[in-house]
Structure 1
Amino acid sequence: MIVNVFYNEKGIGDTLIVSIQEITREQRAFETKGDVVKIFDEETKALSGFNIFHASRHFSLDANGKVELTEAFVDELNRVIQGAGFSEQLDVDLSPKFVVGYVSELEKHPNADKLSICQVDVGEGEQLQIVCGAPNVAQGQKVVVAKVGAVMPSGLLIKPSNLRGVDSFGMLCAARELAIPDAPQEKGILVLDDSAETGSVFSVSF
């Protein structure tokens, strides 16, 4: 389960936002128990997330934006959610979302001249298909991959997508998209030195 948690007391008050998946506003339904609000699809009952009010009463928080998840924090989330009377158990994917990838194959998109279809090795036998529009992408490069579930410094959530009929599962990142200081502004992904280890964590600070 991909879960993203956000907290910004100055921006939205003392509320912890637990986001699992987006649903349309028209289908959105709510159930409140104590300080916890469950958000779900009214028709399918698919869980969208939770809002936890008076969050500082339940958690020790020093985040201003995305909250870094650990096993201990997920355990606390489940304790608060279930303590309010909900039965849901968050089984969170805690694997790194920004990693070094190796572009093992590349072909031009059949329906878009400026797009390339990349097969990217992200370590531990995992291969991702990622559609990329960067003019400098090439086979054999070491690159920074934002996997599905990653939240970019801009706030963009990386989700599975379909670009001109081709499925894409992640993003190859430019330096400016990673908020690297003094990053070049021209279009193009960040190409890493060959010594970068495929599958290793790429640290993003924001």
Structure 2
Amino acid sequence: MIVSSYNKEGVGDTLLLMLKNSEKEAQGFERKGNIARIFDAESNETVGYNFFNVSETMTIEGNGPVVLSEKDVELLNQALAESGFEETLTADNTPKFVVGHVKECVPHPDSDHLSITQTEIDNGEVVQIVCGASNIAEGQKVVVAKVGAIMPNGLVIWDGELRGEPSYGMICSARELELEDAPNEKGILVLPETAVTGEAFKG
């Protein structure tokens, strides 16, 4: 999984790549040429890269989240190899916002407002997602932000835990998706029953 962003005005000509979630205080840094590797200080596992002066390697249009093509990833891997890094990146162009089907929804045992769902996201894959919306229910078609999605407000969706229960993604509201005419009321966006599970949500 690659989460990438670019903001030339705010950060400079630097492509930021996140491969895993990591606590900042536990990170180490290693720089070779125009590339810095960010790694978990305890395990030495790579959690991200910063590609400085990235316009010398590839062309990036605009600011914000960047969708890397296979050709882009190939160019970045060439840059990694030339700088002396042995790891390689793998392109992932699967949609990060998809139609989900809530197969099961039960109350969280340690919360009076959270629910634990088993939600199908595509090709029969079912993930556990903890949801705080009061209108969540079994059988609904919903919008799921998968792990690695970048929300319109810049929030990156990682796997984690809520009150001790694992959660792999987020079931979204219209307001969180910043859709036009989003209702003021809180609650997840419920899609028509005809929505196809696993298809990319276009908004």
TM tier relative to shorter chain: over 0.9
TM-superposed CA distance for 1:53, in Å, is 1.0
Runs of 4+ in 1 over 6 A off after TM superposition: none
| Alignment-derived partner of residue 70 in structure 1 | 69
Q: Give me the CA root mean square deviation.
A: 1.4
| Alignment-derived partner of residue 45 in structure 1 | 44
| Alignment-derived partner of residue 156 in structure 1 | 155
Shifted more, 3-12 versus 159-168: the winner is 159-168
> How many aligned residue pairs are there?
203
Answer yes or no: is 1:103 the counterpart of 2:102.
yes
CA–CA distance in structure 2, aligned partners of residues 165 and 24 of structure 1: 18
Matched residue type, 2:176: E
Q: TM-score, normalised by structure 2?
A: 0.94
Q: Is residue 21–residue 158 contact of structure 2 (8 Å, CA) maintained in 1?
A: no
SS in structure 2 opposite 1:99?
Answer: strand
Quick one: structure 1 residues 180 and 56, their matched pair in 2 at CA, closer, same or farther if it must change by over 3 Å? Answer: same
User: Identity rate of aligned residues, in percent?
Assistant: 49
| Alignment-derived partner of residue 61 in structure 1 | 60
Once the two structures are superposed, the pairs formed by residues 134-153 of structure 1 within 5 Å of their partners are 134-153=133-152
TM-superposed CA distance for 1:74, in Å, is 1.3
| Alignment-derived partner of residue 115 in structure 1 | 114
Answer yes or no: is 1:199 the counterpart of 2:191.
no
| Alignment-derived partner of residue 35 in structure 1 | 34
Task: Please list the CA deviations of residues 150-203 of structure 1 after superposition, one character each: whole Å capped at 9, or x if unmatched.
Answer: 111111111112111211111100011111122112210001111111110112
Q: TM-score, normalised by structure 1?
A: 0.93
SS in structure 2 opposite 1:9?
Answer: coil
| Alignment-derived partner of residue 126 in structure 2 | 127
TM-superposed CA distance for 1:28, in Å, is 2.3
TM-superposed CA distance for 1:67, in Å, is 0.3
Q: Is residue 119–residue 128 contact of structure 2 (8 Å, CA) maintained in 1?
A: yes
CA–CA distance in structure 1, aligned partners of residues 23 and 128 of structure 2: 27
Unaligned stretches of 5+ residues in structure 2: none
TM-superposed CA distance for 1:3, in Å, is 1.1
CA–CA distance in structure 2, aligned partners of residues 19 and 4 of structure 1: 5
Matched residue type, 1:4: V
TM-superposed CA distance for 1:51, in Å, is 0.9
| Alignment-derived partner of residue 183 in structure 1 | 182
Matched residue type, 1:157: V
SS in structure 2 opposite 1:13?
Answer: coil
